[in-house]
Amino acid sequence: MGYFANSTEAAYWESSHCGGCAFSTIGTCPVLMAHWMWGYDDCNDIKSRLHSMIPRDEDGENGDCFAYCAKEDDDDPRRTEDARAHKWREIMGERKE
């Protein structure tokens, strides 16, 4: 999972990895939201989904987000609103009322 020692480190990663992503246009990225919500509790849970969302390399550096989708790629089906909503549910789970 992505590890951010503090909010400055997280903001730096976001600015260098998310700016060109179509998911950034929805206002709240589901991958980052999942990390903010469950990162502290799940960091040592090997079964956590967070480990596949922002994988870490051999040196312990945060890698690229699994959901990245370039804004300019009009043929990418993940750009549609339904596809983004589906990805959100996949990451965050169904909303409980």
Res 91: pLDDT: 66
Is the pLDDT confidence value at 96 over 60?
no
pLDDT tens digits for range 44-95: 777 788 888 888 888 888 888 888 877 766 566 656 666 666 766 776 666 5
Tokens 């550096």 belong to which residue? 61
Cα separation of the two ends of the chain: 28
Neighbours of 8 (CB within 10 A): 9
Tokens 């339904």 belong to which residue? 82
pLDDT tens digits for range 7-52: 888 888 888 888 778 777 666 778 888 888 887 788 777 778 888 8
CA distance 92 to 2: 16
Cα atoms found within 13 Å of the Cα of residue 73, Cβ hemisphere only: 11
Helix (H) or strand (E) holding 75: none
Dihedral sign (CA 8, 81, 20, 17): positive
pTM, entire model: 0.64
Res 94: pLDDT: 60
Res 55: pLDDT: 85
CA distance 20 to 40: 27
